[in-house]
Amino acid sequence: MLAALAPALGAGAVAKLGGVGLAVPASAQEAHEHTMPAGQPAAHDHGDVPFHPGFKAGATVDHRANGFHPTELLRDFDHGRTRRLASGRVLREWELVARDHEIEVAPGVKFPAWAYNGRVPGPALRAREGERLRIRFGNGSAHPHTIHFHGIHPAAMDGLPGVGLGIVEPGKSVTYEFDADPFGLHLYHCHVTPLAEHIARGMYGGFVIDPKDGRPAADELMMVMNGFDTNFDLSNEVYAVNTVGFAYMNDPIRVRRDELVRIYLVNVLEFDPVNSFHVHANFFHYFPTGTSLEPVELTDTVMQCQGQRGILELRFPYKGQYMFHAHQSEFTQLGWMGLFEVE
Ligand SMILES: [Cu+2]
């Protein structure tokens, strides 16, 4: 059974999975019956764990069809275009377009997403404290949407239906403009009702405002914790970081030994009250919301409610593969797990 999974998960991943008693079902039939795949030790019998019936063992997600690859999303920060205003201040501009776009969120599991710029999560927008920001938003979706940014700005720019620029109907566009304030790790998302659906469909992204003097040099990774309600029963069937379940088991995140790694961690998960991040065999400094340059905690596990986010800083002192995952085991088994490959 584990050998059959190798193409999907990679040899190292399978070893890890075997080691901790986690596995994806060998066939859709097994999943329907809610039984563990054969060969699992009794001590790891998870009874009627709700594996997603669509998970296809031996297959990988078609990232090309999705239009994005989770490994590329990690380090893909969108700095937009900049120019100097007469006042000397920097104006930073982006263009975001919403459209309806089917994506594959786990091997064999398709989801009709609504996406900013064709990707879920949307672009990781990155600015610097004190800049003027201008975001032109065009709605190419069949549904009304907005962009609601977290940050400090006037009500008219808040992306809320009935306030200021309000709802953006299909085919229409608006321009949001405000100051980059305060520095930290924020997010943006659609705010049209039903809100849970507009968010759960994929309309969100990370939003980084760097402090005026920046942060120490590091290998920086954007991780948006999300999930997918693929049968629309108001609970999630797939959990992930950056959308594709098990993606970083197939393609471990390569980092360098002793180098500072900075993770921008955002939780946008709908239908579950909390999410979490745990890293194996290591500890990280945690900066809640990234609004201070002093960490509040040295830990190996952090919990976030929806909309919460924070910056993690760590170094890996030893080579090898280190797992990271939600510490809610159900989320882990349904896709929210990955590996760091320290080289
Ligand atoms: Cu929307």
| DSSP string for residues in 15-83 | HHHHHHT----SSHHHHHTT-PPTT--GGG--SS----TT--TT----HHHHT--HHHHHT-EE--EEE
DSSP bridge partners of 106: 109
DSSP 224-244: EEEEE-TT-SSS-SEEEESSS
Give me ligand 1 centre to Cα 122, in Å. 13
The pLDDT, as a whole number, for residue 327 is 96
Which residue from 67, 49, 50, 62 is spatially nearest to 108, judged by alpha carbons?
62
Q: Give the position of tokens 């999975």.
A: 17
In this structure, are residues 286 and 243 in contact, taking their beta carbons and an 8 Å threshold?
no
Q: What is the DSSP secondary structure assignment for residue 201, as one 8-state letter?
A: T
The pLDDT, as a whole number, for residue 193 is 96
Give me ligand 1 centre to Cα 121, in Å. 13
CA Rg value for the chain = 20
The pLDDT, as a whole number, for residue 51 is 52
Pairing of the two strands 204-210 and 184-189: antiparallel
Give me ligand 1 centre to Cα 196, in Å. 10
Give me ligand 1 centre to Cα 97, in Å. 12
DSSP reduced 3-state for 10: coil
User: Could you tell me where the DSSP H helices lie in 101-217?
Assistant: 195-200
> Tens digit of pLDDT for each residue in 74-130?
999 999 999 999 999 999 999 999 999 999 999 999 999 999 999 999 999 999 999
CA distance 291 to 2: 44
Give me ligand 1 centre to Cα 104, in Å. 20
Give me ligand 1 centre to Cα 126, in Å. 22
CA distance 74 to 222: 5
Give me ligand 1 centre to Cα 146, in Å. 6
CA distances from 265 to 20, 51, 150, 316 (A): 24, 26, 15, 18
Give me ligand 1 centre to Cα 192, in Å. 5
pLDDT tens digits, the chain, 343 residues: what are they? 333 333 343 333 333 333 333 333 333 333 333 222 333 333 333 334 445 556 776 678 999 999 999 999 999 999 999 999 999 999 999 999 999 999 999 999 999 999 999 999 999 999 999 999 999 999 999 999 999 999 999 999 999 999 999 999 999 999 999 999 999 999 999 999 999 999 999 999 999 999 999 999 999 999 999 999 999 999 999 999 999 999 999 999 999 999 999 999 999 999 999 999 999 999 999 999 999 999 999 999 999 999 999 999 999 999 999 999 999 999 999 999 999 999 9
CA distance 124 to 266: 11
Give me ligand 1 centre to Cα 175, in Å. 16
Give the Cβ contact number of residue 151 at 10 Å. 21
Q: What is the DSSP secondary structure assignment for residue 89, as one 8-state letter?
A: P
The pLDDT, as a whole number, for residue 340 is 98
Give me ligand 1 centre to Cα 201, in Å. 8
Give me ligand 1 centre to Cα 24, in Å. 32
The pLDDT, as a whole number, for residue 58 is 64
Give me ligand 1 centre to Cα 99, in Å. 10
* CB under 8 A, 24+ apart: contacts of 285-291: 285/312, 285/313, 285/314, 286/310, 286/311, 286/312, 287/311, 287/312, 287/313, 289/184, 289/185, 289/186, 290/183, 290/184, 290/185, 290/208, 290/264, 291/182, 291/183, 291/184
